[in-house]
Amino acid sequence: MRLSNRNKASVYSFVNTLLVMFLIAGVGAYLLEEYRFNILGWESSLLIIVPVFLVVFSYLNGRQIFEYDSDGEALHFRNRNIIPFLHKPLSDEFPKYKLLKFEVVNIFFVKRLYITISSKNSGSTMLKYEISYLSNKEINDLKFSLNKVVKANNEKKS
């Protein structure tokens, strides 16, 4: 099964650009308010606080593009950001038989995928991917595919 939200990259890029423009406009309006008009009073600080909050929220939501491929004998995960210098892109590929378990954690707007794979050195390794920008249907399809792999691995062990 293949899963990708790469086709939504232009939407995410547009939203990021809009947030940066909103931040710049907020700073400009704040400076004009403080040094020229002085109408709002303490509320003028909201002109900077709200855009900064939105930019930080967008940054904390994580990498926007998630790709998953389970065709063949290997699982391939890729997770990258629209803006390349914000986060280091993740790319992992390993055989299906190494997948031990997975967990999807949903905390408010942040969704993460934790995958545990078997490792020769330490016994097991946990991999983390940010899936906040996937739809609920895409997350359910991902869970179904990973459950199938985990179930097949457990049957082989028995």
CATH number of domain containing 27: 2.30.29
pLDDT digits (tens, 9 = 90+) for 71-85: 999 999 999 998 877
Per-residue pLDDT of 117-150, as tens digits, reads 998 888 899 999 999 999 999 999 999 999 999 9
32 C-beta neighbours (distance < 10 Å), count: 13
112-120: average pLDDT: 93
Question: In which domain, by residue range, is 127 found?
Answer: 1-158
Rounded Cα distance, 97 and 70, in Å? 12
Total tally of structural domains belonging to the chain: 1
In order of 16, 89, 93, 97, the CA distances from 10 in angstroms are 10, 18, 26, 36
Crossing angle of helices 9-32/46-60, nearest 10°?
A: 160
Which tops the pLDDT comparison, 18 or 44? 18
Q: Which of 119, 106, 117, 113 is nearest to 143 (CA)?
A: 113
Contact 149, 75 (CB under 8 A): yes
Give dist(CA 109, CA 152) in Å, integer. 32
Look up tokens 């002085």; give the residue.
Answer: 38
How high is the pLDDT of residue 130? 94
**Burial category of 55 from C-beta neighbours within 10 Å (exposed 0-12, middle 13-18, buried 19 and up):** middle
